[in-house]
Amino acid sequence: MPTTHPSRRQPKQARAEFALDSILEAAARTLESHGKAGLTTQRVADTAGFSIGAIYQYFPNKDGLIEALARRELERLTAMMKEALMQPAPFGTGLNARRMMRATAAFIGDRPRLYSILRAEWADAAPDTAIGQGMLRYFELIAGTLNRENPDLGKRIKRDEARFVLFRAISGVLLATALERPHYFGTDAFEDEMVRLILGFLNYDLSPDIPRLAPEDDSFTSA
């Protein structure tokens, strides 16, 4: 009895992958044009050139579409960052901070309106979800690279609060730049300021006994 060679299944698999990529790209374009509130499965189907039934073969609803797109783009950003940080950096040079900034700027500058939506999906993801786990891997990549360049830098972003602040600071400035001052990208002056932002955050620390403001007013309280 003749056996089916695995290669005979490839055209079907290729068509399925093409359809999935087309649907996710249509979802991305719909988000860019209409925002998250304006994304519907019908709009995605129309943009992709598929029937709405074909969309439901892959995704149960628009939330599933957004989640899949957020995962895909996070994986793409992580791959870009991994490639950017592949080469070692001399101790204490801050070279990896510059590489991080360039990779993130390239990613955001490509589709800033899409990124402005997806970064909220990333930040809000619970740690036990696929996106949450992807964010942990992304931060571990950055922290591990910084730690190899300078152990003190890696320690600074081990806390969730520190990672959140640094991630939002870098992405927020780069997003604003892509939307408002795209001509800054690629210039030494802008890149230098971004490196100062990153290294300033990573290098500066607070004394544990520094005075702090009381939660209910502006009076000082001891730490």
CATH number for position 104: 1.10.357
Residue 217 lies in a domain: no
pLDDT reported for residue 208: 79
Is 136 in contact with 76 (CB distance < 8 Å)? no
pLDDT reported for residue 9: 37
Residue 129 lies in a domain: yes
pLDDT reported for residue 218: 61
Domain that holds residue 182: 69-205
36-63 tens-digit pLDDT? 999 999 999 999 999 999 999 999 999 9
**Do residue 48 and residue 107 come from a single domain?**
no
Task: Tokens for 9, please give them.
Answer: 């299944």
**Do residue 46 and residue 132 come from a single domain?**
no
Q: Say which amino acid occupies 112.
A: P
Count: domains in the chain: 2
Residue 2 lies in a domain: no
156-203 tens-digit pLDDT? 887 888 888 988 899 999 999 999 999 999 999 999 999 999 989 988
**Do residue 43 and residue 25 come from a single domain?**
yes
89-107 tens-digit pLDDT? 888 778 888 999 999 999 9
Sign of CA dihedral 37, 38, 44, 47: negative
Mean of per-residue pLDDT scores for the chain:
87
Task: Tokens for 133, please give them.
Answer: 């786990």
The count of C-alpha atoms lying within 13 angstroms of the C-alpha of 109, restricted to the half-sphere facing its C-beta, is 14
Q: Give Rg (Cα) of the chain.
A: 22
Residue 84 lies in a domain: yes
Query: Can you state the angle between helices 95-110 and 130-149, rounded to 10 degrees?
Result: 150
**Do residue 106 and residue 43 come from a single domain?**
no
Compute the residue count for the chain: 223
Read off the CATH number of the domain in which 16 is found: 1.10.10.60
**Do residue 18 and residue 97 come from a single domain?**
no
Task: Tokens for 35, please give them.
Answer: 């925002």
The count of C-alpha atoms lying within 13 angstroms of the C-alpha of 134, restricted to the half-sphere facing its C-beta, is 22
